[in-house]
Structure 1
Amino acid sequence: MHDVASRATLRPRLRFGTATLRAAFATLVFAGLGWSLFDLATQEIKEVRIHGALSEAERNEVGAAASAAIVAGRRTAADIVEAVEDLGWSHSVRAWRRWPGRMHVAVTREPLAARWGDGAYLTTSGEVVHLPDDIAGEGIPTLRTQQASGVEAMRVYGLLRGAAAGVDLAIVELAENALGEWSVQLDNEVRVMLGASELSSRFARFLTVWAGELAGGVERVQSVDARYPAGVAVAWAIGDGPVPSRTASAAAPSTGRDRPAPAEGCGEDQCPADRIENTETETLAFAELVPIATQRVPSGPPPEDE
């Protein structure tokens, strides 16, 4: 009977001792694991590899951002992603670590649609981004506005681009002045003034005249003013001196009258509106594509309808 009681007392003690040993062992294991994890997390990152179709300057900027984060003690993949996203021009960033000492960063840039003035770019969504260098190269237009937003400028560009492509022309610059008037520079170096309204119809009018009358003499065309109600005015580059010009208005032909000669050394942008130099201006009637009357044409806005 005594032996039975002794064994009954011993069993709880053994169970208590076993549980204590297990707890102690687990503590040692977790302590060791914790030390190992801490050791891995604090291992020095000795190399950062950049992936993606980026320019040399962009790669350098990504590498500098990742390195600065690592030096500051931000060594996780999430830390690196945040540091690169703060640059402001990435579309997506992904980072992963190859233990112990290598960090990989994959970056894709926002698709670019146009240059935005000088030093910035517009994405296809109309967002303005700043890049570390002039990486866009050729193939995208330049948009310059003084009133419209990037989204509005992209809308106007999209409105005109397809029509230009239909006659094998491309828009290299779209500009808006302080009055809200738009103009386009084409890849054949001809500038077309469209004004502030009816942009699509005015551009279509120019393209019709271009295909029927002007394409063969592109080297002599300096600019085209499509703000007239039923025609376009063509400024021809013809030489060094002031010359007479021809004009035609499909809406209301004007009678000719003399204008004072331009002042010596006076450029078109600086001279009074009734003076012109180094160009011959001809307004082509939209319907007939021929001049109707002869007169001096000022370099300012088109005449009001009579």
Structure 2
Amino acid sequence: MPRKHVRQAVRNKTGVDSVSWQQRVQRLLLKVAVACGCLAALFGTFVMGSHLIDLRVEQLVLGGAVEHVAVTELEAQLAPTLQASFLTLDLDDVREQLERMPWVYRAGVRRRWPNTVVIEIEEQRPIARWGLDGFLNHEGEYFPGAFADRWSELARLEGPAGSERNMTRRYQSLEALLEPTGLQVVALHEDSLGQVGAELHNGVLLQLGADNHRERIGRFVTLWREQLTEQPVMRVDMRYEHGAAVALLPTSQWALGDVPAANWQETP
């Protein structure tokens, strides 16, 4: 057994001696070259990464059909946020800021290499004015905005704070129910007691009270089509259970309803 160990040792020593010093140098140079290449790649990646991180947003591009939002307004709104680098810019934050602007209903934001931010804007669609300083969109959401002549035909809605959605639904329902008469709503308001009244395009004031609006509007439509179309009506009060009080312009006042005359009531 000892002899076998000796022979094995001799064979291994002989195998090591068979590698020339030139081959050893070549292997060493190869390892050095590989190490240098790795270091160069890491350094290049670091330099490139630093360069990319330092890239700034140089341009805003506004897309979509917009009338009320200008690039200058967007730049002013986003100026602090755009101080971030092109790659680290928080697109969700930019979108949220844009959607807080008065005329912006929905916004989309994306990067375009190497230094441009593209913004797609969907503007608000006002269906009514709210009070004296803003509008309601198609979902009944309030947004501020300056009135202009182009919005003069929009109905004016007013109500307690937080009633915007309810007033929008009420307005849309009233418009639909009045369609057979050809009458249109130019103003709709609700007071602090929940009493609802409307002004129609022909100057008629329609009082609906606090409840049973659909039933009362239905009675008004019937009354208008059957008896009031040709009359100089000033005001119609539908807050009676079975009848209505009608005031005519300018001198006569009288009451009409679908119940006997004894139940009709005269307006003051």
TM-score bracket for this pair, using the shorter chain length: 0.7 to 0.9
Give the secondary structure class of the aligned counterpart of 1:216: coil
- 1:123-180 alpha-carbon deviations (Å, 9 max, x no partner): 333332223x236715543221137622222332233221111222222222111221
- The residue number in structure 1 matching 2:189 is 175
How far, CA to CA, are the matches of 1:57 and 1:90 in structure 2?
8
Q: Percent identity?
A: 24
Tell me if structure 2 keeps the 8 A contact 1:113–1:122: yes
How far, CA to CA, are the matches of 1:9 and 1:74 in structure 2?
50
How far, CA to CA, are the matches of 1:96 and 1:148 in structure 2?
34
Match of 1:95 among 109, 113, 116: 109
How far, CA to CA, are the matches of 1:232 and 1:148 in structure 2?
31
- The residue number in structure 2 matching 1:121 is 135
How far, CA to CA, are the matches of 1:104 and 1:162 in structure 2?
40
* Deviation of 1:105 (Å): 2.0
* Deviation of 1:81 (Å): 2.8
Tell me if structure 2 keeps the 8 A contact 1:147–1:176: no
How far, CA to CA, are the matches of 1:294 and 1:106 in structure 2?
59
Q: Larger RCO: Structure 1 or Structure 2 (Cα < 8 Å, ≥ 6 residues apart)?
A: 1
Q: Which aligned pairs between 1:1-306 and structure 2 lie closer than 5 A?
A: 2=17, 4-7=19-22, 9-38=24-53, 41-42=55-56, 45=58, 47-56=59-68, 61-70=73-82, 72-73=83-84, 76=89, 78=91, 80-87=94-101, 90-98=104-112, 102-131=116-145, 133-134=146-147, 137-138=151-152, 140-146=154-160, 149-217=163-231, 220-238=232-250, 280-287=252-259, 297=266, 299=268
AA aligned to 1:234 is: V
Tell me if structure 2 keeps the 8 A contact 1:167–1:207: yes
AA aligned to 1:84 is: L
Change (3 A) 1:21 1:74: closer
Tell me if structure 1 keeps the 8 A contact 2:133–2:147: yes
Give the secondary structure class of the aligned counterpart of 1:211: helix
Tell me if structure 1 keeps the 8 A contact 2:243–2:263: no
* Deviation of 1:221 (Å): 1.6
Structure 1: stretches of 5+ with no match in the other structure: 239-278, 300-306
Give the secondary structure class of the aligned counterpart of 1:55: coil
AA aligned to 2:209 is: G
How far, CA to CA, are the matches of 2:170 and 2:162 in structure 1?
10
How far, CA to CA, are the matches of 1:65 and 1:134 in structure 2?
22
How far, CA to CA, are the matches of 2:27 and 2:116 in structure 1?
53
* Deviation of 1:223 (Å): 1.2
How far, CA to CA, are the matches of 1:205 and 1:100 in structure 2?
66
- 1:44-96 alpha-carbon deviations (Å, 9 max, x no partner): 62x433333333466653342134533x4465371543432332653321234
AA aligned to 1:203 is: I
Higher helix share: 2
Give the secondary structure class of the aligned counterpart of 1:4: coil
Q: Provide the aligned C-alpha RMSD in A.
A: 3.3
Structure 2: stretches of 5+ with no match in the other structure: 1-13
- The residue number in structure 2 matching 1:268 is none
Tell me if structure 2 keeps the 8 A contact 1:77–1:95: no
Relative to the length of structure 2, the TM-score reads 0.76
Count of residue pairs the alignment pairs up: 249
How far, CA to CA, are the matches of 2:85 and 2:202 in structure 1?
52
AA aligned to 1:4 is: V
